[in-house]
Structure 1
Amino acid sequence: MRLKLLVTCLLTVSFLGAMDHTVVSTSLATIAGELGALQHMSWIVVGYTLASTVLLPVLGKLDDILGPRKIFLGALVVFLAASLCCGLSADFSWLIASRVVQGMSAAGLQLMSQTIIARVTTQRERPRYLATIGAAFPVAILVGPLLGGLITDQLGWQWVFWINIPLGLIALVLALFALPALEGHTSPRGFDLAGAGVFTICLVALILGITWAGEPGASLSTVLALAIGLFSLVLFLWIETRVPEPMIPLKIFANRTVAAGAALSTIIGVGLFSITAYLPTYIQMAYQTSITVSGLVPFATVFGMLCSNLFTGWWASRTGGYWMFPVIGTALGAAGLFAMALLPAGRPLWVPMAVMAVVGIGTGSFMNLIVALVQGAVPAKQTGTITATVNLVRQIGSTVATAMIGVGIAASVAGLLPAGLDAATLTPQQVHASPAEVQAEVAQIYTSVFSPVFAALALAYAVGILVALCLPRGRLSNDPSGTAENTPVSVTTES
C-alpha cells in the first residue's frame, strides 16, 4: 500500500514537472504581451530549460551524498514557491527569475522520482514503475498545450502556474507519509565543486551559443559562447580525471551497459525530441492543413510512445526480458523516419500520422527501460549520478539537434521560396491564402527541405541499432539486492 502511495506521489510530481514545460507554450504570447516583453518571449522557455539541464548532474551527485528524500522534498517545496512567484510576477525580469528557480526545482523532481524508484524496487520491478511515472511526459505533451490555452482563456495566464499548487500540496502530503528515509552513500566532503562550476559554465555557454546561432546579428556572441563552452568542456574533463569524487565519473563509461544506455538516450534526444518541435510547421506547409489539424501528427507520435512505454515496462518486469526492445525500437525509429524522408508531398494526412506513430512506438519501447538498465549496472552509491547522466545526454542531444535543424531549415527555405514570399514573415495562413500553384510550390519546398532532415535522423536511429546490439543479453534480476542498500546490481546473463 505504501509503495502504491509513493508511486502515486511520484507520478503526480513528474506530471507537474512535465506539464510545467508544455502548458506554458500556448500562453507565451499572452504572458509576454501583458508584461511588455514580446521580444524576449522565448526566455520563458529557455530560462526554464537551461536551468533544469544545468542542474541535473549537480542534483545527481547530491542524491548520492544526501539521499533522494531530502532533495525531493526540498525541490517540491521550492517548486511550489516558484510557481506562486511566477503567477505573481509584476514584470518580465521577476517572471524569468521565477522560471529559472522553477526549472531548477523541476529537474530535482524528475530526477529524484527515478532514483527513488531505483532505491525501493528490485531491478526486475523497476521498468514497470519507471514506465508508470515516465508516462507523465507523453501525457503532458498531449494535454499540456490544450490545457494551457483553456486556463489562459478562462482564468488568466497566472493560473497556468498556480494550478501546480493544489496538486503539489497533495503530492507533498503523500511524500511525507510514503517516502522512506533514504540515506546517501558518499561523503559531503567529496562533492566536486570545481567540476560543478566549470560544467555549469560549459552547458550555459554551449546552449546559449546554439540558441543564438539562428538569430540574425548574433554571430560574434555565438562564436564567443561556443568557444567558452568548448574550453570549459575540456577543462571539465581534465578536472574529472583528477578529483577523488568526480561529479560525472568518466570510468563508468567503461561499463558496456552504461555506455550503450547513454548513447541510446542521446539518440532519442537527437532522433525524435529534436524534430517534434518542427512537425506542426512541416505539416501545415507541406500538407496545407490548419494549425489545429497539424497537431495530429505529433499527437500520433506521442500516443505511440505512451502505449509502447507502458507495455514494454510491464513486459520487462513480468518476464525479465529486455534486450529485444532497444533493438526493435531503434529499428522501428529508423524505418519510420526513413519513410518520412521518402514521403512525397500531397499524401493523405493519415500517412504521416501512421509513420510517426511507428517512430513513437519504437522510441517508447526503450525510452525508460534503459534508465533501469544503467541504474542496475553501477554501484548503488552512483545511482543518482548515472540517472542524471542518462537524462542529461538526452537533453543535450535534443537541444543541440533542435538548434541545428532550426538553422538548417530557415536557411534552406529562405533560399528556395518564390519571389514575393519572405521567409522572415511567412506564415501558414499567408501560404493557404495564396494561389494553388504557390501552395503547391511551397509544399514541395518544405518536403525537399525536411526530407534530408528525416534521413539524417533515420541514420541516427540506425546507429542506435548497432548500439542496442552491444547491450549484454540476459534477464533482469529479481533479487532484493536490486535495492540501493547493496551493490552492484546487474542483469542475470544467459549462457
Structure 2
Amino acid sequence: MPALSTLRLRLLVVSLLTVSFLGALDHTIVSTSLATIAGDLGALEHMGWVVVGYTLASTVLLPVIGKLGDLVGPRAVFLTSLVVFLFASLACGFAGSMPWLIAGRVLQGMSSAGLQLMSQTIIAQVTSPRERPKHMAVIGAAFPIAILVGPVLGGVITDFWGWQWVFWVNIPVGIGALLLAIFAVPHIEPGTQRRFDVRGALAFTVSLISLVLAVTWVAEPALRTVAIVAFTVSLMAFAGFLLAENRAAEPLVPLRFFRNRTIGVATTLSFIIGVGLFSITAYLPTYVQMAYQTTATVSGLVPIATVFGMLLSNLGTGFLASRTGRYRLYPVIGTALGAGGLTVMALLPVGPPLWVPMVVMFGVGVGTGAFMSLIVAVAQSAVSRRDTGSITAAVNLVRQIGATVTTAVIGGAVGFGVSALLPVGLDAAQLTPQVVRAADVATQAQVAAIYHDVFAPVFAGLAVAYAIGLVVALLMPSGRLSDEQDPVLHAEPATA
C-alpha cells in the first residue's frame, strides 16, 4: 500500500496508542476497586473471576483475532473491537449482579484482544520493518503506563465517583479515539479470502481454558482431583489442536512459522518475558510488605521502579533499532540484565534498605523492556504481509500463557511455603501486613525471614528462565531490518 503522510502516520500512532492504553488500563484499573464492587454486589466469593474472566477471554481470542485480521483486514477488526469494548464498558458500569459484571468483563477481554493485536498489526502493515520498532515501542508503552497509573486512578475514581465510573470513564475517551481512528486508520486490503480454522480454534480454546482452570484449582486440596482432570483435558485438546493445525489448509497458528529461526527465537523470548517478569510483578507488593514491613503504599515503589525501567528501555531500544536497523544485541543484553537482577534478588539477605530491591528490579525492568516490543517487530518482519496478524497473535499469545500459568504456579508455591513455615499460632489465611506490624518484634522478624526464604527460590527460578532466554537470544540470526515496505529481513552472516 502507498506510504502514509507524516501527519496521518502521527495521527494513526496517537489513535492506536490511545486505544491500546484503554485496553491495557482496563486490566489494571479494576484491581483497587474489586473489594468495593464485591461488597456492593454481594458476591465476594466470585471476585476473582472479574479479573480471570477478562484475562482468559483476551488470551483465548488472540489467535482467532489475529487470523480474522488477516482474513477481513485489520481496520474492520480494530474498529469493531473498539465499538464492542465501549459497549461492554457501558454494560459493566450498569451491572446489578456479579454474573452480569463477569459477562461484561469477558466481553471486554475479547474486544481488548482485538485492540491490542490490531494496533500492532496495523503498524506493521503501514510501515517498513526499519520504521516499525520505534512506532511499536510507542504503542507498547501503553502497558507499562497502565500498570503505573491504573491502580491509583482506579482507587481515586472509586472513592470520589463510585466504582461504576471505573468502566464508564472509557466511554468519552473511547468515543474520541474511535472518531480519530475512523479517519486515521487506513483501509488495508486483506489477503485472498481463505477458510477459517474452526476445529483449531475450538481445540485451542478448550485446551487453554482447561489449563488455566487446572493451575488455579491445583492449589486447593479439595479441588486437586478436578485439577488433574482439567490438566488431562487440556493436554488432549492441545494434541487435537496440533493435529488440526497440521491438517488445516489455513491453520489458525501456522506451525511452519516456527521452522524459521528468527520467529522461533522471538516467540521463545516473548514466553520468557511472561514467565520471568510479568508473573512476579503481581506478588512484589506482598513480598515487600511482609519482608520489609512496609505499608501498602510504600510497597508499590518496587513494582513502580520495575515498570519505569521497562518503559524507558522499551522506548529507547525501539528508536535505536529503527535508527540503525540492528536488533540482535538488545535481547542479549536484556536477558543478561534480567538473569543477573533476579539472581541478586534471590541472594539478598533479610533487611537491606528498600532502595536496594528498587534498584535491582529497575535493572530487571530495563532488561525486559530492551526487547519487549522489539521482538514483535522482528517476528513480523520475518513473514509475508498476509500472515502479519497471525504472527503477531502467536508472539503475544505465548507471552500471555507464560504469564498466566507462572502467576498461578508462583501463587501456589508462595501460599504453600508460607503456610508450612509459619510457627504455631499464626494462620496464613489471616496473616495480613497489618497483623504483622501489630505483632512483637520477634514475630515480625520471623515472618520477614519466612517470606524471604519462600521468595528466594522463586526469584532464582525466574533468573534461570532469563538465563535460558540469554542462550536463546544468542541463537538469534544476525540481520538488519529492511527499509522496504514489504516486510523482509536482510540476513547477514553470523560474523557480521
TM-score range, shorter chain: over 0.9
Structure 1 equivalent of residue 4 of structure 2: none
Q: Deviations for 1:461-495, whole angstroms, at most 9, x for unmatched residues?
A: 0000110011111221112223xxxxxx1134255
Contact 1:87 1:162 in 2 (8 A): yes
The partner residue of 2:45 within 20, 39, 42 is: 39
Q: Deviations for 1:327-348, whole angstroms, at most 9, x for unmatched residues?
A: 0000000000000000001000
Contact 1:118 1:383 in 2 (8 A): yes
How far apart in 2 are the matches of 1:221 and 1:294?
36
The partner residue of 2:180 within 160, 174, 193 is: 174
Q: What letter corresponds to residue 409 of structure 1 in structure 2?
A: V
Structure 2 equivalent of residue 430 of structure 1: 435
5 Å-filtered alignment, 1:76-155, equals 76-155=82-161
How far apart in 1 are the matches of 2:380 and 2:443?
53
Structure 2 equivalent of residue 261 of structure 1: 266
Structure 1 equivalent of residue 492 of structure 2: 493
RMSD: 0.9
- The offset of 1:186, in angstroms, is 4.0
The partner residue of 2:26 within 8, 20, 32 is: 20
The partner residue of 2:65 within 55, 59, 63 is: 59
377-386 or 178-187, which moves further after superposition?
Answer: 178-187
Contact 2:477 2:491 in 1 (8 A): no
Q: Deviations for 1:342-385, whole angstroms, at most 9, x for unmatched residues?
A: 00010000000000000000000000000000000011111100
Contact 1:477 1:492 in 2 (8 A): no
How far apart in 2 are the matches of 1:234 and 1:272?
28
1:303 matched to 2:308? The reply is yes
Q: What letter corresponds to residue 404 of structure 2 in structure 1?
A: T
1:285 matched to 2:290? The reply is yes
- Equivalent residue of 1:452, what SS? helix
Contact 1:213 1:403 in 2 (8 A): no
Contact 1:64 1:186 in 2 (8 A): no
- Equivalent residue of 1:335, what SS? helix
Structure 2: gaps of 5 or more residues:
1-6
- Equivalent residue of 2:61, what SS? helix
Structure 2 equivalent of residue 203 of structure 1: 208
How far apart in 2 are the matches of 1:152 and 1:281?
22
How far apart in 1 are the matches of 2:33 and 2:325?
43
How far apart in 1 are the matches of 2:174 and 2:491?
39
Contact 1:376 1:491 in 2 (8 A): no
- The offset of 1:223, in angstroms, is 1.4
1:373 matched to 2:378? The reply is yes
How far apart in 1 are the matches of 2:38 and 2:225?
27
How far apart in 2 are the matches of 1:215 and 1:28?
22
- Equivalent residue of 1:475, what SS? strand
Q: What letter corresponds to residue 490 of structure 1 in structure 2?
A: L
- Equivalent residue of 1:491, what SS? strand
5 Å-filtered alignment, 1:330-409, equals 330-409=335-414
Structure 2 equivalent of residue 485 of structure 1: none
Q: Deviations for 1:258-292, whole angstroms, at most 9, x for unmatched residues?
A: 00000000000000011111111111111111111
- The offset of 1:215, in angstroms, is 3.0
How far apart in 1 are the matches of 2:158 and 2:192?
45
Aligned length: 488
The partner residue of 2:278 within 269, 273, 286 is: 273
Structure 1: gaps of 5 or more residues:
483-488
How far apart in 2 are the matches of 1:224 and 1:77?
38
How far apart in 2 are the matches of 1:171 and 1:364?
26
Contact 2:480 2:489 in 1 (8 A): no
How far apart in 2 are the matches of 1:20 and 1:361?
24
- The offset of 1:222, in angstroms, is 1.1
How far apart in 2 are the matches of 1:275 and 1:104?
24
- The offset of 1:183, in angstroms, is 1.9
Contact 1:333 1:360 in 2 (8 A): yes
- Equivalent residue of 2:490, what SS? coil
- The offset of 1:209, in angstroms, is 1.1
How far apart in 2 are the matches of 1:365 and 1:302?
12
Contact 2:133 2:319 in 1 (8 A): yes
1:318 matched to 2:323? The reply is yes
- Equivalent residue of 2:273, what SS? helix
TM-score between both structures, scaled by the size of structure 1: 0.97
- Equivalent residue of 1:480, what SS? coil
Structure 2 equivalent of residue 446 of structure 1: 451
Structure 2 equivalent of residue 69 of structure 1: 75
- The offset of 1:160, in angstroms, is 0.2
